[in-house]
Structure 1
Amino acid sequence: MSDENFTSYDTLLDVPLAKVQPSVIFMDVACKYEAHWLGRSRAIPPGSTFAVGQWHLRPHRPMCQVRFNPVFVKGAGLTYGDLIEHLWADICKHWYITAYMSPGTRQDFISGLVRARHRNKEHGLAQLLLRWLRRYVTLKAETEKKLRDLGITPPDPAGEAPENPRDTLIARNQRDPNAGGASLSAQASAPRMNWRHRYQEKLEEFYALKPHLHVNGDLTGQQTKYQERAKALEGELKVVERERRIKRWGPDEQVFKNAAAYRKAYSLARHERDATSLARR
């Protein structure tokens, strides 16, 4: 984005920053706007920092997700940063009603919608926190089991808190402006399985089911499920083989073994990433 794209941002910020000192300034493109702000030879107000709301943060690069994540920004707490957009998503469905109202009635109606939304949010907050707690307990148990399977001792919750990755990233970039981009992306992003490894995964399951398919006499319920699953896998495998123009791999072929080895490494990388995420909590 060019400087011209940020003209409206500058206008909106110049006036309030002269009167107040916000601790966090949320923007969808804060990573780009911060460079624009500093490029105009203006210092960020003391005690303030730029951040990207959680809703818009996910498509950003891994480095941005650390540098501008409000979770790691001191003073931001659990501020979401995109409340106004979620609020508009809820009330915009009533536009056809407000279009025929007088200005005063329209304002009263929208104010009522906002109050009703906040009431519903407060009533559902306890249930939401309870669901989050249950999910956390489940994920914690699963991750600790994965750590034990890998022979890694889970971190002690009573131990020292891990360093803030945002502070570490900023300090490293201050020492070396060219550092951090590619290496951080490699650390934060686990490898992805390509079509060969997904194909091998299905093929491995198909070969594991084959001994259970040829049964004399009546089929049990479990054997029926085996046959249905094998039939579904057969269809999925044929689709891949037709699209990729390949012959079916045998379990003793080298390409099958190589794909299996990569899948194992991929699973270990995901477990290590989960372990690192748990250690940072």
Structure 2
Amino acid sequence: MPLQVLTIPCLSDNYAFVAHDPESGETAVIDVPEAAPILAALQDRGWRADHVLLTHHHADHVQGLDELLAAHPARVVGARADVHRLPPLDLAVSEGDEVMIGAQRGTVIAVPGHTLGHVAFHFPQSRVAFTGDSLMALGCGRVFEGTMAQMWESLSKLAALPADTLICSGHEYTAANGRFALSVEPGNAALQARVGDITRAREDGRPTVPSELALELATNPFLRAAEPALAGAVGLGAGTPAAEVFAELRGRKDRF
């Protein structure tokens, strides 16, 4: 049986996720922006948090951890590369390492760019990936610590996952991301339809996260940097390497 995944709104525009293995009863929390809504979701379902998976060190992804652990003394998992600035870890992981939620086996993917030690967690049996602030709904995280080339390589890893993978990312930025995406690819019919869906979802108070990778591949400009149309849209030649197109796109988004 696949993981049951809950999307938990936190703070003003963050998301945490709760992943529950129905066979074993084990439960993991992915990122802890604040504890109260996560604790409420666990209590409502009678679940115990056995694991916490941290994607990166930024405060808006870890600052609720102590309060969560006071109620649920879970095992904390995070990147070995960032042990010096993450909360204390019970398990430090690197690219290719495995994590378990009950019977569900996940793989750690190193996705530097937004931060140097950023990781994602992919659970292939459940067709879900927890990507934090690397690949996001219709966007990607700002490149704060790594290089544009690193971020493009990280996104390329995630883009190679099965197209039916559910991408669980860390923020409700999708409407703003959609406005930027339309500015560079206004003729993309799939993007036009998605932006309409996003508008209706937000008007109804529904989250736009998670999203299916297939939809990201069709509409997210940061995954589409190898498309000749995207190079032309940012004033670059058709033969420009995708990493350079991505860098131009990300720079424009930073100024958008």
TM-score, length-scaled by structure 2: 0.25
Greater strand content: 2
Structure showing greater Rg = 1
Identify which of structures 1 and 2 has the higher relative contact order when contacts are C-alpha pairs closer than 8 Å and 6+ apart. 1
TM-score of the aligned structures, taking structure 1 as reference length: 0.24
User: Which is richer in helix?
Assistant: 1
